[in-house]
Amino acid sequence: MTTEFKLPELGENVEEASVAGLLVAVGDTVAADQPVIEVETDKAVAEIPVPVGGTVTEIRVAAGDKITVGTVVLVIDEEASGAPAKAPAPEQSPPAPAAIPEPAKVPASKPAPKPEASETVRMPRPDPVLAAPSVRRMAREQGVDLREVPVADPHRPVTAGDLKAYLKSLEGATAAPEAAVASTADEETENDPWGAVTCEPMNAIRKKTAEHMAHCWATIPHVTQFEKVDITGIEAVRKKHGARVKEAGGKLTVTVFVLKALAETLQRFPRLNASLDAEGEQVIFKKYYNLGVAVDTPNGLLVPVVRDVDRKSLFELAVELPALAARARDRKLKLEEMQGATFTVTNLGGLGVTSFTPIINAPEVAILGVSKAALEPVFEHGQFVPRLLMPVSLSYDHRVIDGADAARFMSYLKEVLEQPWSLFLDGDQ
């Protein structure tokens, strides 16, 4: 019995994806729920599992293809599920990297490949080959089968350095590998009248972010208000309870307090927890409090969503948020983990930023920016005392929110943050 495995639903409003890599080859035996393809959308890279086990008899897509939901990815013979995995047929592997040329065949002007590279390329390696999405992309662009790239330990992931070394070892074999080395080497190219430059293509995440941010900035009338919040009390709570949270695998950061305070404040000011239906000329008020948190990753800005913040304690948020951020940096987020936000927080304080004006993440109508806290003298009870003040900035959509509404929102948020004992660690006093 043969089964056609089709690309499943990837998430709300996601109909298309790029094939970032194939994790199996024709002849391989797969188990139910085993990842067989890696796809890239405008938000994340995800490994898609197959629902049945068997032997792969046909693959109908290739790395780099644009495919839509419902596209047949591969065909599986379920009756052959007990058969051992077969080696990929010769025609499945690119001809150029089929074998590393002997040192004697390398032109005299080129350095000979190291002997150990030739030895390690023949070592058995588990399938699928482990590699980061960026390495898979580089291999795809250069027409290289990652199974042929030599590594000292066949069980560790193939790195960019391994791939570049392999490409260099193929210099002189064909014109294609030589061109591949030129395009992947970290050398500057003299193609600018004023000096050397390098070019880096934008990945799907950066392209989509650029497009979305440009649209938000062009269509939303932004206004930004600034405030300073005294977080001296928050620091005291963090020092007192940080160790207990750490033991549970979390981290009691300032962002955690901000999230909890925002959930409390948004309930008092529902206009900022809304979206604008511009065509229907109506404001849609959200009765749930899902807060997006901007995360800086090597592949671009991602915004995972912490759901139902109003129902979670500081302790729970302190455990959940670092895990979400880690998955964002590793590009392991599920698509649904980046959907459904009602308000967004972006914290640049850890990078030393003292103030900035964040861009609203439509269809939301407001976003809070958090900057670096600093000790400042504050006049209290007839004398100056040191207090830890944190600058915050609120950008809001002036079509929905008036300045007075935003001012009241900021005043209440400041009050909540300056009394952290009201945000119980475990939901009880």
Cα–Cα dist 80/62, whole Å: 24
Distance, CA of 223 to CA of 301 (rounded, Å): 22
Task: Cite the beta strand spans of 154-235 per DSSP E.
Answer: 189-192, 195-197, 222-230
Query: Radius of gyration of the chain from Cα atoms?
Result: 27
Quick check: is 398 catalytic? yes
With a CB cutoff of 8 Å and minimum separation 6, the contacts of 325 are 293, 295, 304
C-alpha dist (Å) from residue 29 to 8, 54, 77: 21, 6, 9
**CB 9 within 8 Å of CB 121:** no
Catalytic residue among 155, 215, 381, 398: 398
Beta strands (DSSP E) in 134-254 are 189-192, 195-197, 222-230
Q: Which residues pair with 72 in a beta bridge?
A: 6
Nearest-angstrom CA–CA distance, 328 and 158: 21
Catalytic residue numbers?
A: 398
